[in-house]
């Protein structure tokens, strides 16, 4: 958490304010744990021209071949306001203007648990970083054949654990992995070698359904965590079929919980096989 739908929501909301001219920056002392790049990089007198997303990463494109790459970790969020953001755990605040509208805006990175990561890099370094990730699960690169071959590479791995591996499926987190298995009607503890091509096709369709439904509702806020770029909670909790549910959203059977690779995993013993 946040996972692909939450990061995509923030990206879309921030994009509405672009371009942003950054006039001043304020970096809190605790931000040193979050900012991973040690080289000198000024966040003043720059222009944020574009924001993209890959998997769970937000990519801020800045003039002169500069990139700010942000991973939100477990509790991070970027928020924007026409007033200074004084929320607790605000680690980075950029004082901005929109050149065309000439309005003052404040863009802040907020992260209570400080597991987020911020990198400053150029485009070549960005490409190198992205090359370590698998396909973005929201793109056409996620094919049935890709899923099937990933399963073949790790025959003894459990399917839910494979879905969580960012080297194969960029953007999947714990709730998305559980929900994909539910919509594909697959037990999350199934070994990958048992997944047929027909079932790989079901995983592809389930992935598309889960992420699109969550994005439509601005992501999922769970236990008071994620908030979007306006500071609002996501409303996708109503989409959940098995994750942290007592009854299956399809058949109302009792949901079971197991641990897979240290992560709480929820499934319906009737719907999933």
Q: Number of helices (H) and strands (E), helices first, in the chain?
A: 6, 12
β-strand partners of 118: 35, 70
pTM: 0.96
Question: What is the structure's pLDDT at 41?
Answer: 77
- CA-CA distances (angstroms) from residue 90 to 47, 98, 101, 111, 171? 21, 22, 26, 7, 24
- Rg over alpha carbons for the chain, rounded to the nearest Å, is 20
Q: What is the DSSP string of 167-195?
A: TTEET--HHHHHHHHHHTT--TT-BGGG-
Question: What is the structure's pLDDT at 207?
Answer: 98
How many angstroms separate the CA atoms of 115 and 14, rounded?
A: 22
Question: Is residue 201 classed exposed, middle or buried when 0-12, 13-18 and 19+ CB atoms within 10 A define those classes?
Answer: middle
Under 8 Å CB-to-CB from 193, ≥6 apart: which residues? 151, 152, 155, 156
Assigned CATH topology for domain 137-267: Helicase, Ruva Protein; domain 3 (1.10.8)
**In 3-state terms, the chain is what percent helix, strand and coil (to 5)?**
30, 30, 45
Cα end-to-end distance, the chain, whole Å: 27
Question: What is the structure's pLDDT at 40?
Answer: 72
Assigned CATH topology for domain 4-130: N-terminal domain of MutM-like DNA repair proteins (3.20.190)
* Residue numbers annotated as active site: 2-3, 56, 263
Question: What is the structure's pLDDT at 64?
Answer: 77
Strands 169-170 and 135-136, how do they pair?
parallel
Question: What is the structure's pLDDT at 96?
Answer: 96
Question: What is the structure's pLDDT at 236?
Answer: 96
**Per-domain boundaries in the chain:** 4-130, 137-267
Query: How confident is the prediction along the chain (273 residues), in pLDDT tens digits per residue?
Result: 799 999 999 999 999 999 999 999 999 998 888 999 877 778 889 999 999 999 999 999 998 789 999 999 999 999 999 999 999 999 999 999 988 777 899 999 999 999 999 999 999 999 999 999 999 999 999 999 999 999 999 999 999 999 999 999 999 999 999 999 999 999 999 999 999 999 999 999 999 999 999 999 999 998 878 999 999 999 999 999 999 999 999 999 999 999 999 999 999 999 999
Angle at 267 between CA 163 and CA 258, to 5 degrees: 85
Question: Contact at 8 Å (CB) between 24 and 117?
Answer: no
């Amino acid at each position: 958490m946040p996972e692909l739908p939450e990061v995509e929501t923030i990206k879309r909301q921030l994009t509405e304010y672009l371009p942003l001219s950054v006039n001043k920056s304020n970096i809190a002392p605790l931000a040193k744990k979050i900012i991973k790049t040690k080289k000198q990089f000024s966040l003043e007198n720059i222009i944020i021209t574009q924001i993209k997303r890959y998997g769970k990463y937000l990519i801020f494109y800045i003039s002169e071949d500069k990139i700010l790459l942000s991973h939100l970790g477990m509790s991070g969020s970027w928020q924007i306001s026409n007033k200074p953001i004084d929320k607790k755990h605000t680690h980075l605040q950029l004082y901005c203007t929109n050149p065309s509208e000439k309005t003052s805006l404040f863009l802040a990175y907020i992260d209570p648990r400080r597991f987020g990561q911020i990198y400053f890099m150029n485009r070549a370094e960005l490409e190198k970083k992205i090359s370590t990730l698998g396909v973005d699960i929201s793109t056409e690169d996620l094919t049935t054949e890709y899923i099937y071959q990933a399963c073949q590479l790790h025959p003894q791995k459990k399917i839910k654990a494979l879905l969580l591996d960012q080297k194969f499926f960029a953007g999947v987190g714990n709730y998305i992995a559980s929900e994909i298995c539910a919509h594909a009607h697959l037990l999350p503890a199934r070994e990958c070698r048992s997944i047929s091509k027909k079932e790989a096709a079901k995983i592809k369709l389930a992935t598309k359904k889960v992420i699109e439904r969550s994005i439509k509702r601005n992501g999922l806020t769970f236990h008071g965590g994620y908030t979007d770029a306006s500071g609002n909670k996501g409303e996708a909790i109503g989409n959940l079929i098995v994750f942290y549910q007592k009854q299956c959203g399809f058949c109302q059977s009792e949901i079971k919980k197991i641990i897979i690779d240290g992560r709480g995993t929820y499934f319906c013993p009737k719907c999933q096989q």
